[in-house]
């Protein structure tokens, strides 16, 4: 900073000197005739020098002047120029003698330099000017690169409010001085110890102060300069309750906080602009792990990065919790990389299971097991601090006789409240906010109400925390007033704790169709439990999730009227969402000037104006509320009426919001909900609407108004087309000829770069696994087509993939002569089975998940222990065979060359075939190259690019791997399937040996169509 101030002051002095020297040169130019060339040359160089230094001065004065690193190093050049200019000024300034002579008419000016002196001065100034110009050029390039970096990194989506220093977290507390000292010291020691575990799990019950501690540590380490990123999960916030923006937020924070990492994150985004849409594991690898490793490899010192992940238990999906822990724990294997991750959460079962799965990669500390005297001391310090603030604030404007005494509330009362609060800091924090709420009473009055509840010793800690707040709502109210207050409380506060995403008071009033004053009045007495902003347009948030838990589970007889009935509240919100959308949605809602306008070009201000927050909320969450309420047939009719009128308007609105994927989720959610209703007319429309969105997903996601043009290409008998045929733009004069019905292709899964040899459905039909010649396995969501995991580890093509019977594991066989067992939820390779020197043809799990069977090119089948990786039975065959299934009891193995018993011996011959209970066998569908066949009957003809690989069937869906690397999911009419089942005695069929048991054969015959 001192050097920066030095360069700034030196530049100012040089600019000032340049101006003085120029003025003197002009005087000499007028008075001296015999040195005009030297004077002009010197004048021009000083003028050029002044121009350059003025630019530098202007840049250094700008807010980003401190970023001009090269220019900040110019002090020596500036000092040289200053010295030269000072000498020039001194020699050019007329002496006192010459001034006196001028009064007698003598010439006062005489050029004081020889030509060679002028050349030397000009060269010095040119050299200084060149150095300055070069530094400016360097700095400008760096600034442009930084702008480019910022532009690229801004493409990474960030979860709003997730960072510890975000506006949403701004007013949340940190630990007071002299509290949590030992705990904070222990965390600091763990961060600074290069030999400590990668993850520190700080766990505790609700209200024990976990978030306050993580916020304190994040702020402290940010000041020290080693905080890489922070992510505070919060259930009910759109992007803070899941992993949709978790990795991209962490990567973005790392790029800003750790300059050495930024270029590598930028390169990853440059290489794949859609990286933030990829599977979480791939995002983490490309945006976090690899950039950290590369930055470490190029650094002279071993950099340390600290990351905070708060309230992990508020992440919605159990599988995502496990995945986060797995990804961070794997960083311990990343060579010299020094990453420390503080994770806080409640000790919920999914969290405990997640930590047990990563073994000893973490150390933990249980907050509610910290010795009570320490907790009691910290809560006591907190209460004294807060009560002093309450007393001082109240006394500032209270009349003299009402002022609180300086010892208020008294040692005895502090002691009582401290003992009542232990071990919950949320109790202490809530009661202090409650006592400080001037809207509902004086501090002393409210203190007494808290002491009355605490003194009874009855009820849970949550009762003692929140019951004073509820009692105060109806204190001294008559019967009718009490009922009105409770009714509005359940409507307004019940809505706040049920919303999928927080809304402002204004949006809340519009959503519930009440006057905004009713909302503000009801919330005015709830500052102790809700984060209520000063403006009507900022979101209202819960201060702590435990308040929601308390209201939903409220059982205390006296306060049971305040209980929030979730299903009833959902039902009310669903009706209001439909009302808001009916009144707000229309075609071209943002008045886009032409049909092909991209969503990215829409002005955000225009979008916010045409689609206010209550309408946005309704569009995104109406189905969540609809399906979470009490199912009634009348609700079905309401939804049917809305969809058959506004489906395309809703899809357009969701496109503008960048939420087309959520449309598919919504329609599938509705489809499952409709199944619970009797006599519903909605299912046909929802199914067809889903096909419509799937078919034109990419169009809808990019160009909102093209949705209406897509109707021209929809099959003639489509329900959506028939319903909205009038919406086809009139300027499409010649409508194309289209099919009568939708074709069989439901999804095209793209991601593999080479032939997909093996595909399989999970046994719950929710996922598809594919193995490719690109040496990877991909796990796909069978409903959305999203790639959820990419599994890497094999060194040659994948010949076979299979799910376990609980759908939680995947086994893969490869030409690299190994089998790998993967966790399907996290993507972790749990076991590698190797030792047999031959290419793997096929793999399969036993029903009890304890064994894996694999067949090889050399005509053998090995049985492996899936838990230990040891090889057990070896079945030797006469030729090529593929493994199809274990028998139900696990004592036999079924191949396309027969069924063979498993014994305790090391080898079994194919002499004694076993009965196979085929009615319980898993579905394996295959192709004779041209047709998918079933018991000798042709079921599905395949085009050339879909031939040669394996095929799998689940219910009415068929999945096929293609030579191009694509995976196709086809839908087959259930009527056709049932007809085929009726004509095929699959229950009585026995697997027959085939003459095609040889290595060259690539045919695979359909053995059982039951999944």
DSSP string, 836-860: --S-EEEEEE-TTSSEEEEEETTSE
Residues 6 or more apart from 732 whose CB is under 8 A from it?
Answer: 709, 712
Tell me if residue 208 falls in helix, strand or coil.
coil
What was the pLDDT predicted at 296?
Answer: 80
Q: What share of the chain has pLDDT > 90, as a percent?
A: 38
C-beta separation of 463 from 207 below 8 A: no
Please confirm whether the linkage preceding 409 is cis (ω < 30° from 0).
yes
Q: What local confidence, expressed as pLDDT, does residue 1011 receive?
A: 26
What are the pLDDT digits (tens) for 109-122? 678 888 788 888 88
User: Minimum mean pLDDT among 3-17, 240-254, 841-855: which range?
Assistant: 3-17
For range 140-144, the mean pLDDT? 58
Whether a cis peptide bond, with omega within 30° of 0, leads into 978 is: no
What pLDDT is attached to residue 29? 80
| pLDDT tops 80 at residue 969 | yes
5 pLDDT above the threshold of 60? no
pLDDT in tens, 359-381: 788 899 998 788 889 999 999 99
Q: Which of 777, 963, 799 is closest to 880 using CA atoms?
A: 799
457 compared with 756, residue with greater pLDDT: 756
Note the Cα 529 to chain centre separation in Å.
27
Nearest CA to 961 out of 783, 808, 778 is that of: 778
Most confidently predicted of 124-128, 138-142, 272-276, 685-689: 685-689
- Which tops the pLDDT comparison, 146 or 15? 15
Q: What are the two backbone dihedrals, phi and then psi, of residue 126, each rounded to the nearest 5 degrees?
A: -65, -40
555 vs 147 pLDDT, higher one: 555
Q: Is the pTM of this model over 0.75?
A: no
Lowest average pLDDT, out of 689-698, 858-867, 915-924, goes to: 915-924
Could you read off the pLDDT of 877-912 as tens digits, one per residue?
666 665 567 877 777 777 766 677 776 443 444 434
pLDDT digits (tens, 9 = 90+) for 216-230: 999 999 998 889 999
pLDDT over 90 at 92, yes or no: no
Phi-psi region of 298 (alpha: psi -120 to 50; beta: other; left: phi over 0): alpha
What does the pLDDT average to over 746-767?
89
pLDDT on residue 97: 43
Is the model's pLDDT at 987 over the cut of 50? no
H-state helical runs in 696-796: 697-702, 706-710, 719-724
**Distance of CA 45 to CAs 128, 289, 430, Å?**
11, 54, 71
The token duo for 37 is 């060339």
The whole-number pLDDT of residue 986 equals 36
Position 311 confidence tier, pLDDT thresholds 50, 70, 90: very high
Mean pLDDT rounded to a whole number for the chain: 82
Residue 997 pLDDT: 31
* Residue 62 neighbours by CB under 8 Å, 6+ apart: none
**Contact in structure between 592 and 602 (CB atoms under 8 Å):** yes
Query: DSSP per residue over 239-298, as a string?
Result: TTSSSTTHHHHHHHHHHHH-TTTHHHHHHHHHH-TTGGGS-HHHHHIIIIIHHHHHHHHT
Most confident stretch, 394-408, 421-435, 573-587: 573-587
Q: Which of 665, 650, 566, 655 is nearest to 615 (CA)?
A: 650
Spatial separation of the C-alpha atoms in residues 709 and 588, rounded to whole Å: 13
Question: Would you say residue 999 has pLDDT above 50?
Answer: no
Is the pLDDT score of 994 beyond 60? no
What does the pLDDT look like over 796-855, one tens digit per residue? 999 999 999 888 899 999 999 899 999 887 788 888 998 777 788 889 998 888 889 888
Read off the pLDDT of each residue in 757-785 and give the average, rounded to a whole number.
Answer: 90
Residue predicted with more confidence, 35 or 407: 407
pLDDT at 412 over 70: yes
Amino acid 714: pLDDT: 95
Among the ranges given (271-285, 435-449, 573-587, 630-644), the one the predictor scored with the smallest mean pLDDT: 630-644
Stretch 518-538: mean pLDDT:
92
| Residue 628, φ and ψ in degrees, nearest 5 | -95, -10
- Higher pLDDT pick, 668 / 128: 668
Domains in the chain with CATH codes: 2-150 (no CATH), 167-370 (3.40.50.300), 374-473+492-503+533-560 (no CATH), 568-742 (no CATH), 746-982 (2.130.10.10)
């Amino acid at each position: 900073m001192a050097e920066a101030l030095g360069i700034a002051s030196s530049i100012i002095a040089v600019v000032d000197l340049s101006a003085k020297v120029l003025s003197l040169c002009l005087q000499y130019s007028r008075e001296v005739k015999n040195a005009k060339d030297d004077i002009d040359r010197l004048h021009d160089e000083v003028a050029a020098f002044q121009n350059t230094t003025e630019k530098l001065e202007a840049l250094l004065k700008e807010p980003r002047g401190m970023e001009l690193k090269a220019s900040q190093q110019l002090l020596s050049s500036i000092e040289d120029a200053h010295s030269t200019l000072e000498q020039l000024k001194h020699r050019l300034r007329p002496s006192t003698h010459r001034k006196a002579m001028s009064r007698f008419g003598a010439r006062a000016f005489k050029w004081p330099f020889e030509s060679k002196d002028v050349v030397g001065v000009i060269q010095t100034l040119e050299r200084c000017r060149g150095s300055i110009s070069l530094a400016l050029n360097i700095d400008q390039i760096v600034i442009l690169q930084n702008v480019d970096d910022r532009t690229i990194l801004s493409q990474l989506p960030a979860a709003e409010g997730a960072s510890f220093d975000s506006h949403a977290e701004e007013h949340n507390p940190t630990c007071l001085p002299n509290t949590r000292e030992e705990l904070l010291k222990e965390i600091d020691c763990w961060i600074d110890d290069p030999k400590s575990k990668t993850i520190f799990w700080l766990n505790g019950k609700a209200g024990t102060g976990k978030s306050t501690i993580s916020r304190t540590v994040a702020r402290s380490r940010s000041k020290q300069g080693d905080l890489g990123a922070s992510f505070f999960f919060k259930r009910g916030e759109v992007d803070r309750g899941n992993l949709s923006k978790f990795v991209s937020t962490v990567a973005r924070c790392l790029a800003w906080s750790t300059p050495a990492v930024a270029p590598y994150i930028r390169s990853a985004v440059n290489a794949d602009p859609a990286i933030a849409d990829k599977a979480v594991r791939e995002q983490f690898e490309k945006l976090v792990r690899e950039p950290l490793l590369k930055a470490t490899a190029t650094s002279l010192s071993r950099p340390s990065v600290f990351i905070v992940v708060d309230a992990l238990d508020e992440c919605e999906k159990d599988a995502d919790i496990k995945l986060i822990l797995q990804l961070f724990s794997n960083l311990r294997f990343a060579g010299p990389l020094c990453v420390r991750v503080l994770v806080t959460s409640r000790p919920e079962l999914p969290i405990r299971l997640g930590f047990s799965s990563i073994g000893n990669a973490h150390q933990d500390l249980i907050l509610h097991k910290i010795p009570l005297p320490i907790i009691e001391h910290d809560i006591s310090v907190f209460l004294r601090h807060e009560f002093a603030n309450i007393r001082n604030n109240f006394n500032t404007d209270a009349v003299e006789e009402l002022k609180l005494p300086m010892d208020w509330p008294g040692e005895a009362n502090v002691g009582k409240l401290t003992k009542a609060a232990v071990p919950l800091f949320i109790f202490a924090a809530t009661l202090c906010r409650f006592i400080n709420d001037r809207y509902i009473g004086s501090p002393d009055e409210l203190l007494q109400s808290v002491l009355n509840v605490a003194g009874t010793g009855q009820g849970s800690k949550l009762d003692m925390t929140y019951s004073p707040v509820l009692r105060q709502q109806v204190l001294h109210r008559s019967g009718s007033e009490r009922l009105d207050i409770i009714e509005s409380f359940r409507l307004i506060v019940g809505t706040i704790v049920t919303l999928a995403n927080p809304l402002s008071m204004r949006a809340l009033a519009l959503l519930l169709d009440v006057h905004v004053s009713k909302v503000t009045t009801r919330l005015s007495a709830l500052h102790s439990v809700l984060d209520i902003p000063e403006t009507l347009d900022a979101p209202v948030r819960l201060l702590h999730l435990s308040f929601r838990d308390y209201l939903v589970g409220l059982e205390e007889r006296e306060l049971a009227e305040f209980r929030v009935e979730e299903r009833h509240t959902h039902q009310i919100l669903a009706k209001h969402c439909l009302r808001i959308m009916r009144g707000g949605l229309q075609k071209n809602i943002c008045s886009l000037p032409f049909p092909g306008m991209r969503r990215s070009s829409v002005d955000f201000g225009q979008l916010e104006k045409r689609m206010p927050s209550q309408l946005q909320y309704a569009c995104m969450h109406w189905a969540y509320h609809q399906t979470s309420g009490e199912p009634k047939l009348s609700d079905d009719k309401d939804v049917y009426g809305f969809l058959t009128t506004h489906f395309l308007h809703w899809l357009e609105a969701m496109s503008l919001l960048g939420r087309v994927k959520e449309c598919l989720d919504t329609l599938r959610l509705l489809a499952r909900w409709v199944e619970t209703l009797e006599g519903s007319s909605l299912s046909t429309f929802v199914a067809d609407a889903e096909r419509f969105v799937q078919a034109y997903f990419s169009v809808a996601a990019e160009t909102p108004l093209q949705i209406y043009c897509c109707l021209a290409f929809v099959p003639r008998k489509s329900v959506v087309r028939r319903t909205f045929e009038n919406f086809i733009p009139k300027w499409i004069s010649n409508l194309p000829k289209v099919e009568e019905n939708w074709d069989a292709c439901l999804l095209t899964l793209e991601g593999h770069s080479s032939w997909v040899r093996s595909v399989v459905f999970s046994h719950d039909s929710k996922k598809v696994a594919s193995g490719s010649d690109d040496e990877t396995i991909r796990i796909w969501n069978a409903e959305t087509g999203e790639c959820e995991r990419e599994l890497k580890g094999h060194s040659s093509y994948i010949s076979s993939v299979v799910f376990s019977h609980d759908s939680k594991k995947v086994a893969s066989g490869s030409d690299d002569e190994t089998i790998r067992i993967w966790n399907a939820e996290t993507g972790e390779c749990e076991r590698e089975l190797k030792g047999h020197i031959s290419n793997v043809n096929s793999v399969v799990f036993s029903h009890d998940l304890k064994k894996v069977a694999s067949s090889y090119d050399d005509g053998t089948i090995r049985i492996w222990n899936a838990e230990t990786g040891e090889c057990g039975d070896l079945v030797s065959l006469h030729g090529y065979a593929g493994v199809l299934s274990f028998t139900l009891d696990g004592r036999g193995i079924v191949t396309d060359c027969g069924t063979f018993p498993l014994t305790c011996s090391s080898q079994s011959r194919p002499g004694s075939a076993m009965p196979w209970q085929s009615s319980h066998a898993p579905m394996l569908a295959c192709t004779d190259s041209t047709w998918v066949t079933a018991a000798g009957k042709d079921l599905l003809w395949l085009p050339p690019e879909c031939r040669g690989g394996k095929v799998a069937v689940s219910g009415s869906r068929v999945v096929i791997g293609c030579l191009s690397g694509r995976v196709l999911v086809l839908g087959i009419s259930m009527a056709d399937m049932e007809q085929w089942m009726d004509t095929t005695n699959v229950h009585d069929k026995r697997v027959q040996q085939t003459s095609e048991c040889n290595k060259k054969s690539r045919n695979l015959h359909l053995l059982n169509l039951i999944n």
